[in-house]
Amino acid sequence: MLAHPEVAERLDLAWFGVKRDDLLPALHGGSKVRKLDFLLAAPPWSTAPGWAAAGAMGSGQLAALAAAAELLGKTLHAHVAWQTPTGHAIENLAFLATRAHITDHGSRVRMALRHPALLRGGSVKGFPVVPPGASAGPGLLGPVEAGLELATQVARGECPLPDEIVLPFGSGGTAVGLAVGLRRAGLPTVVRGVACVERPLAAAWRVRSLLDELGETDASLRIEHGHVGDGYGVPSAAADTAVATLVSQGINAEPVYGGKAMAALLASPPRGKRVLFWHTARRGPLPVDPRWRERLPASLQRRLDGGRGRRALLAGGLAVAAIVAIRTSGYPDRGFTGAVLAGWEAEVVRALGEAVATVDHDPAEAVATVDHFLTGLSPMARAEVHGLLALVEHGLGVQRFTSLAPAARRDALARLAALGSLPAVASRGARDLGLLGAYAQPGTWAALGYEGPIVGRGRPDAYAALCAAPGVAP
Ligand SMILES: *Cc1c(COP(=O)(O)O)cnc(C)c1O
């Protein structure tokens, strides 16, 4: 822990210091080590000869797991999806290439279809799956211990009691675990978790589910939005400036997490307060074998080489079509012809409506509403909806979603939501499609206390009441 008085003075803070998780000795350092330290020591990971894990191809989590596998003599089966190849991502991928068995799935949706267990938990080809961000189960204990560690440092006088701790919020395990640890140690410090992922992934429900897993109902944690810029992993000018500020203090920062968290502090420093910046990044560049590209699956090499990327994407699309084609038989023929939805997809939408809407509605009309709604989406968004429906139908359990009773379907969606991260967003998306079809029907409005639209549905009095009298100035 180091104090940085120049930064404190510049930002008008009573004190500014940095908690240096980059100096943690194992695995090139970084806060992820704290989580893996507990997770990988617990069964089934501790007893298995290797692990399966999913992520973007340049994920820091996969790189840290590869380092852990090397240290512990395990094999890492990394299932990767494509991401924009920024310098940071390439560095992680290059490290991963010579230390893991990489399976390239192209997109996250395809990965989920092929191996639902990567999202759901369990095992893939006999290897236990490491949960996303290791922010689950025993992995959450590492950040809790970090909170207790800080309390000890405060008690020893190594650092003043901070009013506020600023750190990045990704899968949320680090921020939430730390807040819980501080609370258990009796420190009143507020944790300011700066979202480095899109808003739906860093929402209140995510915090609640992590707290729940730790057996807590509350913690002094504030999630701050507005600094993710164009998205997770995409650099921003503010983050670059913040990285430069940290580098000027001798701290090797990165723009994906720490840069965005520090940008939040630079944008609104709590004047007169004692602030601790929790530095979560690893120590520095990872050792990379110069021939790493040769170790990549051919599909990744091709796409990294560019040019032929288009064809690779097309082939990927055909692969998805093949997976789905063999799974689309055995549905009732209701004579549905949609603009966007295939017959089996209409059955999934119908099943979603029956599961999530609590009022009687006409399922055929619900399906038609959703189909019409989808015509207004971009081709990319529509492709995601097709993937989502396939995931719901085939990826949530052994049985097809449509063959479950409505209560069992609700349970399946709840289990998906409880996984947090992208699976939780998928669960909400599926729920919303079900709700959309059912509650667009006038017959369901009374149950919602909604009187219907004012214009055009026989409520002329209500419309007249909204009109300004002639001659009234706006
Ligand atoms: C993964 C990572 C985080 C995010 O931690 P979460 O527990 O997923 O919120 C923050 N900083 C760095 C440098 C990371 O690699």
Q: Check which CATH number belongs to the domain holding 64 and give it.
A: 3.40.50.1100
Contact 223, 239 (CB under 8 A): no
Distance, CA of 97 to CA of 101 (rounded, Å)? 8
Same structural domain for residues 375 and 429? Answer: yes
Same structural domain for residues 34 and 166? Answer: no
User: 21, 2, 16: which is closest to 177 by C-alpha?
Assistant: 21
Instruction: Tell me how far the alpha carbon of residue 388 lies from the centroid of ligand 1, in angstroms.
Output: 26
Instruction: Tell me how far the alpha carbon of residue 251 lies from the centroid of ligand 1, in angstroms.
Output: 17
Same structural domain for residues 35 and 78? Answer: yes
Instruction: Tell me how far the alpha carbon of residue 131 lies from the centroid of ligand 1, in angstroms.
Output: 14
Q: Probe ligand 1: pick from 22, 24, 27, 31, max atoms within 8 Å of CB?
A: 31
Same structural domain for residues 167 and 265? Answer: yes
459 occurs within a structural domain: no
Same structural domain for residues 272 and 230? Answer: yes
In ligand 1, which atom is closest to the CA atom of 281?
A: 13
Same structural domain for residues 434 and 340? Answer: yes
Same structural domain for residues 144 and 269? Answer: yes
Any ligand 1 atom below 6 A from CB of 421: no
Nearest CA to ligand 1 atom 13: 281
Q: What does the pLDDT read at residue 456? A: 64
131 occurs within a structural domain: yes
Lookup: tokens for 153: 């440092």
Same structural domain for residues 44 and 99? Answer: yes
Same structural domain for residues 16 and 90? Answer: no
Q: What does the pLDDT read at residue 268? A: 96
Q: Probe ligand 1: pick from 280, 283, 422, max atoms within 8 Å of CB?
A: 280
285 occurs within a structural domain: no
* Spatial CB neighbours of 257, under 8 Å, sequence gap ≥ 6: 168, 170, 196, 280, 281
61 occurs within a structural domain: yes
303 occurs within a structural domain: no
15 occurs within a structural domain: yes
- Cis preceding linkage at 131, omega within 30: no
457 occurs within a structural domain: no
Same structural domain for residues 359 and 442? Answer: yes
Enclosing domain of residue 421 = 330-448
Which one of 76, 107, 138 terminates a domain? 138
296 occurs within a structural domain: no
Same structural domain for residues 153 and 259? Answer: yes
The one-digit pLDDT tens for each residue of the chain (474 residues) are 689 999 999 999 999 999 999 999 988 899 999 999 999 999 999 999 999 999 989 888 999 999 999 999 999 999 999 887 777 788 899 999 999 999 999 888 888 888 988 888 899 999 999 998 888 889 999 999 999 999 999 999 999 999 999 999 999 999 999 999 999 999 999 999 999 988 877 888 889 999 999 999 999 999 999 999 988 877 889 998 999 899 888 898 888 899 999 999 999 999 999 999 999 999 878 888 888 999 999 999 988 887 444 444 444 444 444 444 446 677 888 888 889 999 999 999 999 999 999 888 999 999 999 999 998 887 777 888 888 888 888 877 778 899 999 999 999 998 888 776 677 788 888 999 999 999 999 888 888 888 777 766 666 677 777 788 888 876
Any ligand 1 atom below 6 A from CB of 171: yes
Any ligand 1 atom below 6 A from CB of 32: yes
Q: What does the pLDDT read at residue 323? A: 46
Same structural domain for residues 267 and 356? Answer: no
Domain count, the chain: 3
Q: What does the pLDDT read at residue 271? A: 96
